[in-house]
Amino acid sequence: MRYLSTRGDAPELGFAEVLLGGLAPDGGLYVPAEWPRLPELPPPGASGGYAADAAAIMAAFVGDDLDAATLARLCDEAYATFRHPAVVPLVQIDHHHWLLELFHGPTLAFKDVALQLVGRMFDHVLGQRGERVTIVGATSGDTGSAAIDGVKGCDHVDIVILYPAGRTSDVQRRQMTTIDAPNVHTVAIDGTFDDCQDLVKAMFADAEFRDRLRLSAVNSINWARVMAQVVYYVTASRALAGPVTFCVPTGNFGNVLAGWIARRCGAPIADFIVASNTNDILTRFVNDADMTTREVVPTLSPSMDIQVSSNFERLLFEMNGRDGGMTAEQLRRFRSTGRLDVEPDQRREWVEGTFRAASLGDAATTAEIARTFAETGMLIDPHTATGVGAVRRLVGAGGPEVPIVTTATAHPAKFPDAVERATGVRPGLPPHLADLFDLPERTASLPNDLAAVQEFVTARSRVGR
């Protein structure tokens, strides 16, 4: 299995290089040179479990870079951290409508599904090569805690996560700062999330620093994360004897893209509903052919407060007939004008019939949390609620033609204030996190200053020691 860049000007690589490399040197994202066919799996009733299905499905993307036994072991270990025997259970909330609960991992958000596995893959590949890396990242909440939890047991990875002081929720901050592992470091930056992100970008742009510390990232454009997410689209559509419609609350488009890939490779999926909050660039693109960036507005679903959906580039590459030069040119225009245009025939072929979309503001999101609680007794988080609400808007009273599955991306206890305001009930943390507020926090504080942050990273990294 070989991978090529969506901008068409980077060497083809195997899976292990793509895993460690992240962004391609031409600025593009890696995609398989050819889409594989999904393997035959045992029928759902005879499945060996989620980890076994995951290993079988991902083998098609990994190729020879990880042997079957290693891939199976990494999947077993990654998904043993989930607090539900089904790992990602399907729960029915209406006659035609299921939730795919992706939040039973260690940090209560769907990012664990990918990062528990990707951390272990990193460690395995680096260990084989006798190498180390330093992962640096910026977070506004979910990604940082999921990345830290994914690598906290890794011998060959040090991680430094920057977060904006005072601007994450207490649960999110404590999920990062209470991890007691020698390779995990968090820094509260006196600034905003954008400041943190700029510091990370500046560290990567400093070539001497980047190479000396072997900087690496596990952000949402990493191919291995997308690949790990393909799995649950395959297993859930099979469990419901598809075709099914998936509704996906989205920001970076990563999760929807994983579903699209599952369909491309043969999973029984009819189409997708893209759900956004007020930051609705994707909804405007699908419904009105309008992809223009606007200011990011803070909402109740902060992990979707994004205006540039970086993973969309992978779909754009397909829409351009896999022409990397054309894709690069289109993205250059997008960056300079703030507007992305695609041709009407491209929309007909790639968007219509494949994607529907709706966006919910905070009031509608709150109403959806309340309504779901009243109808089913279930508490859903604000991200999931944008999805459930989008389904309600787009699916008529006669019901859909095929079952609908909404991906439930966060546990309600991760956003307790919004859930309590909507329902009067405060969701409790699951038992494995019950002591979160008793554990000591371990974190550093630094000014918004590149030199200070670089000094901190240099002192903590074990690369070259």
Ligand X SMILES: *Cc1c(COP(=O)(O)O)cnc(C)c1O
Select which of 111, 152, 201, 414 is catalytic: 111
Strands 339-340 and 291-292: antiparallel
* Residues 210 to 239 in contact with ligand X, rule: CB under 6 A: 220
Q: Is the dihedral of CA 386, 390, 392, 393 positive or negative?
A: positive
- What is the rounded distance in angstroms from the CA atom of residue 71 to the CA atom of residue 225? 15
DSSP character string of 7-23: TS-S--B-HHHHHHH-S
Q: Does 175 bind ligand X (CB under 6 A)?
A: no
Q: Does 102 bind ligand X (CB under 6 A)?
A: no
Minimum distance from CB of 410 to ligand X (Å)? Answer: 3
Which of 122, 233, 253, 285 forms a contact with ligand X (CB under 6 A)?
253
- What is the rounded distance in angstroms from the CA atom of residue 463 to the CA atom of residue 232? 35
Which of 55, 118, 410, 433 forms a contact with ligand X (CB under 6 A)?
410
Select 146 or 199, whichever has its Cβ closest to ligand X. Answer: 146
The residue among 284, 295, 296 whose CA lies nearest residue 341 is 284
- What is the rounded distance in angstroms from the CA atom of residue 384 to the CA atom of residue 407? 7
* Residues 303 to 322 in contact with ligand X, rule: CB under 6 A: 303-304
Which one of 55-63, 106-114, 233-241, 353-361 is the stretch in contact with ligand X (CB under 6 A)? 106-114
Residue 242: CB atoms within 10 A of its CB come to: 20
Which of 255, 279, 372, 461 forms a contact with ligand X (CB under 6 A)?
255
Residue 406: C-alpha distances to residues 76, 237, 275 (Å): 25, 12, 10
Minimum distance from CB of 107 to ligand X (Å)? Answer: 9
- For residue 286, the one-letter residue type is V
Which one of 16-24, 173-181, 249-257, 363-371 is the stretch in contact with ligand X (CB under 6 A)? 249-257
Select 56 or 159, whichever has its Cβ closest to ligand X. Answer: 159
Q: Does 106 bind ligand X (CB under 6 A)?
A: no
Query: Which contacts qualify for 194-197: CB closer than 8 Å, 24 or more apart?
Result: 195/164, 195/448, 196/138, 196/139, 196/162, 196/163, 196/164, 197/138
Residue 134: C-alpha distances to residues 13, 161, 204, 328 (Å): 21, 11, 11, 29
Which of 254, 259, 389, 412 forms a contact with ligand X (CB under 6 A)?
254
Q: Does 252 bind ligand X (CB under 6 A)?
A: yes
Which one of 71-79, 176-184, 247-255, 350-358 is the stretch in contact with ligand X (CB under 6 A)? 247-255
Which of 245, 250, 320, 406 forms a contact with ligand X (CB under 6 A)?
250
Q: Does 263 bind ligand X (CB under 6 A)?
A: no
Binding mask 123-162 for ligand X (x = CB under 6 A): -------------------x--------------------
Select 109 or 261, whichever has its Cβ closest to ligand X. Answer: 109
Q: Are 288 and 341 in contact (CB under 8 A)?
A: no
Q: Does 419 bind ligand X (CB under 6 A)?
A: no
Q: Are 30 and 349 in contact (CB under 8 A)?
A: no
**Site size with ligand X, rule: CB under 6 A:** 17
Q: Which residue has the tokens 């272990």?
A: 120
Tokens of 455: 């000094």
Q: Does 285 bind ligand X (CB under 6 A)?
A: no
Whether cis (ω within 30° of 0) applies to the bond prior to 243 is yes
Which one of 71-79, 162-170, 252-260, 389-397 is the stretch in contact with ligand X (CB under 6 A)? 252-260
Q: Does 281 bind ligand X (CB under 6 A)?
A: no
Q: Where are the beta strands (DSSP E) in 124-183?
A: 133-138, 157-164
Select 59 or 364, whichever has its Cβ closest to ligand X. Answer: 364
Can 111 be counted among the known catalytic residues?
A: yes
Minimum distance from CB of 419 to ligand X (Å)? Answer: 13
The residue among 145, 283, 211, 192 whose CA lies nearest residue 458 is 211
Q: Does 109 bind ligand X (CB under 6 A)?
A: yes
Minimum distance from CB of 411 to ligand X (Å)? Answer: 9
Q: Does 277 bind ligand X (CB under 6 A)?
A: no
Binding mask 362-391 for ligand X (x = CB under 6 A): ---------------------x--------
- What is the rounded distance in angstroms from the CA atom of residue 37 to the CA atom of residue 32? 12
Binding site for ligand X (CB under 6 A): 109-111, 142, 220, 249-255, 303-304, 383, 409-410
Cite the active site residues. Answer: 111
